[in-house]
Chains A and B, each alone.
Chain A
Amino acid sequence: MSATILIVDDNHLIRFTTSLLMKQVGLQSLQASSGGEGLAMAKTSKPDAILLDIMMPDMDGWEVLDALNQDPDLAKIPVILFSALDQQTFAGHDMSPSIKTILHKPFHLDQLLMALRIALPDLEV
């Protein structure tokens, strides 16, 4: 199975380099620079999984998750939380079933691939 991953992150360097990594392992990627743009792209493109940054201006990752979960079509898309925040930051948040795993920045390629395999068990990377 190949897949299309939506990368939602306000840092364009992280989007750019992460999408290049995905390209090398045979994955397609889409890029959104804000929560709002990510939500709109999720609706129109229906990606196989979403790599979702938490700390973003205007609409942060938690708000994007809430909006995704309220839409029955989008609630099924597996989400990988993607953040440079400390691990304990996640402790106070309800983890919705769509969150498959958390990928901490900075990450190694193996960790990215592991996160993608957890989100998409049929993925061959």
Chain B
Amino acid sequence: MAYLNEAFLDTLDQLDLGVALVTGDDELQSLNRTMRQLLLRIKGDDLVLSGSDLFVAFGIPPLAPEENQDSRKCEPSGQVLRVNRKRMQVDGRNWLLVQAQDLTGEQQQAKSMNRQISDLLFKVRSRITPVQNAVTLFLKYPDAIAQREAKDLFGISYLELWQLERWLDNLRDFSLLNSGDIGKYIQPNDHDLKELVDAATNSLLQAIQTHDRPVQIRNNIPPDLHAFVDRERLLRVLEGLLLNSVEYCKEEPLIVFSAQERGDRILLSITDNGIGINAEEQGLVFEYGFRAKHPLVHNVSGSGTDLWYSRQILTRMDARIEFTSSPQGSLFTLDVPASHV
């Protein structure tokens, strides 16, 4: 402790930086609390007597005699550490300062983000394929495309591009959710809920204008009901729910919005006459990558991330989303903060 005073060690603990001071004779002089916690996670105890013991625990060789410092990444017992070592001379004595930083959480976060990006890129490539085919057909064989086929091809392209735009916006939010920065970007404000649902409905109806079955969307939300929400993000959530209701429906889709105010909250309900989700799968709908085991689901190129995203982003808006389903259809309930501006 002589050369690393308590205040300095506390500061390093607050930075989650593990520190050990080793004498020129390889004797362990001091360890801070973070380093002890790291050792407990790696080897089950914090009993180390020398620098060599420490390096065995980390699974790295001693610092080579000709080196004055090094920096290594190591993975002892499933932990990911960055270990920096530096020789020093203080009051004519030789010391080795060892710093260790736990990167396990960061690595897991990076892996999770990589997986999300990779999954979404797969879906984006799949979505682009029919659009690219459609464009090729129009450019190369404009006279060979029948009017009916042309309408279908334009419809496909519009819907795919609409969905791609939504996924790219979601991808930006995935990144912000992972980095913990999403709170800085969410901008809740006073919005008329009926108008917001109309905007989502119009956006969807435009995207599915060549849909082969008529789609009915009823907005039964009372006028002058105001929610305190991030408009852009709630719109994207509603558009995703609407598209699910249309795509996962065997009949002519019928979607009904209703809402009621309860104190400082608004309960927004969305019911549909879609295929619903089996009771045993209902608890999984908000899990990342969930896709229901229904043949109709696999005819649609979904991302399996829309509902996961919806719950994540609504939680950050002080809102909640719940789901129930029966063979007659699904009910999503959004509990959002009311605005009394």
| A104 neighbours in B (Cβ, 8 Å) | 125
Question: Which residues between 152 and 183 of chain B lie within 8 Å of chain A, taking CB atoms?
Answer: 152-153, 156, 160
Q: When the two chains form their complex, are residues B137 and A84 in contact, meaning their CB atoms are under 8 A apart?
A: no
A76 within 8 A of B: no
Is A86 part of the binding interface, using a Cβ–Cβ cutoff of 8 Å? Answer: yes
CB distance from B221 to the nearest CB of A (A): 33
A17 within 8 Å of B (CB atoms): yes
A21-B136, A108-B132, A108-B136 given; A13·B149 CB < 8 A:
no
From A14, A17, A34, A58, contact of B126 by CB (8 A): A14
A109 and B140 contacting across the interface, CB-CB below 8 Å? yes
A24 near B301 with CB under 8 A, answer no
Alpha-carbon distance A84/B127, docked complex (angstroms): 10
Give B302 Cβ to nearest chain A Cβ, in Å. 10
CB distance from A118 to the nearest CB of B (A): 19
| Residues of chain A at the chain B interface (Cβ within 8 Å) | 10-14, 16-18, 20-21, 24, 33-34, 55-58, 84-86, 104-109
A51-B72 Cα distance, complex, nearest whole Å: 48
Shortest Cβ gap from B12 to chain A (Å): 40
A13–B133 CA distance with the chains assembled, in angstroms: 10
Give the complex CA separation of A10 and B126 in angstroms: 11
Q: Mark B142-158, 1 if CB is under 8 A from A, else 0.
A: 00110001001100100
- Per the CB 8 Å criterion, the residue count for chain B at the interface is 28
Q: Which residues of A lie under 8 Å from residue B145 when comparing CB positions?
A: 20
* Complex Cα gap A107–B141 (Å): 17
CA distance A84 to B152 in the complex (A): 23
Pairwise interchain contact A13-B301, C-beta atoms closer than 8 A: yes
CA distance A85 to B122 in the complex (A): 6
Q: Would A109 and B126 count as touching, CB distance under 8 A?
A: no
Contact partner of A106 (CB less than 8 A), chosen from B123, B128, B140, is B128
Asked if residues B136 and A84 are in contact (CB atoms below 8 Å), the reply is: no
Does B299 reach chain A (CB closer than 8 Å)? yes
B243 near A: Cβ within 8 Å? no
By the criterion CB–CB under 8 Å, are B126 and A84 in contact?
Answer: yes
Q: From known contacts A17-B133, A21-B136, A107-B132, infer whether A84 and B299 are also in contact, taking CB-CB under 8 Å.
A: no
Q: Residue B130 contacts which of A17, A56, A86, A108 (CB distance < 8 angstroms)?
A: A17
A sample of 6 more A-B contacts (CB under 8 A), given A13-B129, A106-B131, is: A11-B130, A20-B145, A24-B141, A57-B293, A86-B122, A108-B132
